[in-house]
Amino acid sequence: MPNAVPLSWYLILSAVLFALGVAGFLFRRNIITVFMSIELMLNAVNLTFIAFSNFLKQVDGQIFTFFVMVVAAAEAAVGLAIILTVFKNRATLQIDEVASMKN
């Protein structure tokens, strides 16, 4: 098979990126990096949508990716505004120092 890539390769790449996103989300302590890990997971899911869109020869997967991108843009705008407000009130970006709901 010189000129074709198996579908599973695309899906495995997507799984690897998603796992990296989960790892970043769980292990990192900087609120902005946690937010970027979420974007990484969204990108991984987009790759799966596009791969299946190609595999099934339907354009619908790409429409879903388009909507995911729009939602990601809205999420980034609101999320970063929230981060700004948190920083204004607490003067920190460490998520374990913002724990007033826990104590």
Sites for other proteins among residues 52-91 (CB under 8 A): 53-55, 57-60, 62-63, 65-67, 69-78, 80-85, 87-88
Give the residue with the Cβ less far from other proteins, 2 or 102. Answer: 2
Type of residue numbered 96: D
Give the residue with the Cβ less far from other proteins, 96 or 100. Answer: 96
When asked if residue 45 is in the footprint of other proteins (CB under 8 A), the reply is no
Is 68:46 a contact under the CB 8 Å cutoff? yes
Q: Shortest Cβ distance from residue 55 to other proteins (Å)?
A: 6
The conformation of residue 103, written as its DSSP 8-state character, comes to -
Q: Shortest Cβ distance from residue 44 to other proteins (Å)?
A: 9
Q: Shortest Cβ distance from residue 29 to other proteins (Å)?
A: 5
Give the residue with the Cβ less far from other proteins, 80 or 100. Answer: 80
Buried b (16+ CB within 10 A) or exposed e, 46-80: bbbbbbbbeeeeeeebeebbeebeeebeeeeeebe
Cα separation, 67 vs 32, in Å, equals 23
